Amino acid sequence: MGRAQLLTTVSEFLPRDHGHFINGQRRSGSGTRRPVVDPASGKRIAEVHDGGAAEVTAAMAAAQAAFNGEWAATPTLARGNLLLKLAAALEAHREELAQLETLCSGKTIALSRGLELDQSVAFLRYFAGWAGKINGETLAVSIPPFADEKYRAFTVREPLGVVVGILPWNFSIMIAVWKFAAALICGNTVVLKPSEYTPLTLLRLAELANEVGFPPGTLNVVNGDGQVLGPLLIAHPACGKVSFTGSMKTGRVVGDAASQRGIPVTLELGGKNAALFLDDLSVEEMVDGIMEAGYLNQGQICSSAERFYLPAGKLDAVLQALSLRLAALKPDSPLDDDCLLGPLANAPHLEKVQGLIAAAQQDGDRLVFGGTRPAGEGYYLLPAAIAARSADSAIMQQETFGPVGAFLAWQQEEQALQWINDSPYGLSASVWTHDLSKALRYSEGIQAGTVWINMHNILDPALPFGGIKGSGNGREFGSAFIQDYTRLKSVMMRY
C-alpha cells in the first residue's frame, strides 16, 4: 500500500489540448479554455475548451448519421459484443481511468478503482446481456372479426434516436455508463455532456470506445457550460430523448425544455435520504450503519443518507461514538491507497456545504462534530454530525450532498415514519433493525424509489433505480430501463 504513482498515460494525457469527442475523433474546439482543478490541491491540472453551437451541431449530426446508418445496421448481438469489449477495455485501463477520476473529482483512489471503474464494468456487462432480449409481445386481438377475417397483432420496441445524457460530477464514468450503455443496447446513439468539473475521464473513455470498434458517431462527448450546451442539445431536432442526472433545480429546467419539445426525459435528481434505526440495535451497529449510509465519498452520492432518525434513549451515545469514528478519518491525498477522507469535489460545492452547516448552527441546530476545514491546501472538510433542533430544521430538509449527517431522536417509530415522508424528495431510504417483519412493513410505508434494509447505497444493475416526488422520474437499470430508452409500436394485420 502507498500512494499511486501517476501513470505515464495519465501524465501525458493531462496536458493535451482537450475539448470534445465527436464522430470518432478528438476535437479541441475554439471556445474559452476552462481549467480543470484537482480538488486535493486546488491547482489547475488541465484545460478543456468550452463547446458551443458548432460542437453541438457537429455532435448531434454525427449521432444522427450513426443512428440512421452504421449503428442501425449493427446487429443487436454485435452491439452487445461492443459493450463487452468496452468493459474489457475499462478493465485493462482501470488504473489510468481511476487516476484521472481521482484527479478531477477528489474521490479516493480506492473508490475510483473499486466503485467507479469496477461498477462501470459490471453495468456494461449487464446491459450487454440485454442484446436480443428487448422485444415487444404478440397480443390476442379482442374485437369481433368481420366475416371470416382474422387478425394478428404485435408490438415492437423501437429506439428513440439520439439520446442526450447530461451528467453530474460525483461519478462521471459510472453515471455515464448507466445512460449510454442502456441507450446503445436499445439502438439509440448518444451525445454526453459531462459536468464542467469532471470533463476528462469521459474523453478518454470515448477514445477507448472508438478503439474497440464502436462506429463513429455512436458515442460523442461535448464539454462546456451546461447552461449554454444543455438548451442547445435539448432543442436540437435530432434529440430524441434526454437523460439527466443532477440537481432538482437544473432537472426542472431540463424537464421543462424536454416537454416543450414533446420528447421523453428521465430525471435522476437529488435527495434528502433518510435512515431509520430501530431500538433493537446496539450503539456500535448503529454507528456502522451511519458510516455506510452517510459518509462514503464525503456524502457526495445522490442516494446517501443525510437525515438519521434514532431512538431517543440511544441518540447521545451514538453521537459520541460516531464522533470518535469521524475523528479517525484523517484528511489525506486521495491518491493514497489508504486515504479515507479526500476533499470535496469542487470549490463552489465546498462553499455551499459550509454555508448550510453555518446556517444550521444559526438556526439552533447543534454541531456535534466536524464541519470545519483542516489546515492545508485543497477543498477538504471534516465530516460533520449535527443534532437537529426539530424535524422541520432546514438541515433535516435541504440536500447538502456533502459529509453532513443530521440526527433526530424519535420517541415512537411511527413518528419517524411521518418525518421521513414529510419531504419534497423521494430517492432512497434505509431501515436498520434485526426485526425483519418490522423492516418490511416500514419498506412499504416509506415514500422512496429505493428502500434498503440493513444496508445503504448499494446499487445493482438488475434493480431499477430512480426517484419519486421531487427526486425525479423514470427508472434506470433492471428491465425498467427498456421503457425509458425505447418507444412501443403496435402492428396489426388482417389475414
The reply to whether 446 sits near ligand NDP by the rule CB under 6 A is no
Least distance in Å: CB of 120 to ligand NDP? Answer: 14
C-alpha cell, 416: 419517524
Least distance in Å: CB of 280 to ligand NDP? Answer: 31
Contacts with 415 (C-beta within 8 Å, 6 or more apart), sequence order: none
The reply to whether 153 sits near ligand NDP by the rule CB under 6 A is no
The reply to whether 50 sits near ligand NDP by the rule CB under 6 A is no
The reply to whether 168 sits near ligand NDP by the rule CB under 6 A is yes
Q: Which of 119, 188, 245, 423 binds ligand NDP (CB under 6 A)?
A: 245
Give the Cα separation of 396 and 216 in Å (integer): 47
The reply to whether 428 sits near ligand NDP by the rule CB under 6 A is no
- β pairing state of 162-166 and 25-27: unpaired
**Residue ranges in 453-492 that form contacts with ligand NDP under rule CB under 6 A:** 467, 472
- Reply yes or no on whether 268 is catalytic: yes
**Residue ranges in 272-311 that form contacts with ligand NDP under rule CB under 6 A:** 302
Least distance in Å: CB of 252 to ligand NDP? Answer: 10
Least distance in Å: CB of 456 to ligand NDP? Answer: 14
Q: Which of 126, 169, 410, 432 binds ligand NDP (CB under 6 A)?
A: 169
Compare residues 37 and 82 and give the one whose CB is closer to ligand NDP: 37
Nearest to 43 by CA among 297, 347, 375: 347
Compare residues 368 and 395 and give the one whose CB is closer to ligand NDP: 395
CA distances from 451 to 293, 391, 397, 459 (A): 12, 20, 18, 11
Give the Cα separation of 296 and 341 in Å (integer): 9
The region, left, alpha or beta by phi > 0 then psi within -120 to 50, assigned to residue 252 is alpha
Q: Which amino acid is at 201?
A: T
C-alpha cell, 374: 483542516
The reply to whether 268 sits near ligand NDP by the rule CB under 6 A is yes
Q: Which of 174, 182, 427, 431 binds ligand NDP (CB under 6 A)?
A: 427
Q: Which of 23, 172, 188, 195 binds ligand NDP (CB under 6 A)?
A: 195
Q: Which of 166, 202, 206, 350 binds ligand NDP (CB under 6 A)?
A: 166
Give the Cα separation of 414 and 453 in Å (integer): 17
- Reply yes or no on whether 302 is catalytic: yes
Contacts with 243 (C-beta within 8 Å, 6 or more apart), sequence order: 163, 164, 165, 166, 179, 183, 265, 266, 268, 474, 484
C-alpha cell, 353: 456545504
Q: Which of 61, 153, 253, 296 binds ligand NDP (CB under 6 A)?
A: 253
**Residue ranges in 395-414 that form contacts with ligand NDP under rule CB under 6 A:** 399, 401
The region, left, alpha or beta by phi > 0 then psi within -120 to 50, assigned to residue 150 is beta
Compare residues 87 and 248 and give the one whose CB is closer to ligand NDP: 248
Least distance in Å: CB of 264 to ligand NDP? Answer: 16
Nearest to 484 by CA among 234, 263, 295: 263
Active-site residue, selected from the candidate residues 95, 96, 101, 268:
268
Q: Which residues are catalytic?
A: 268, 302
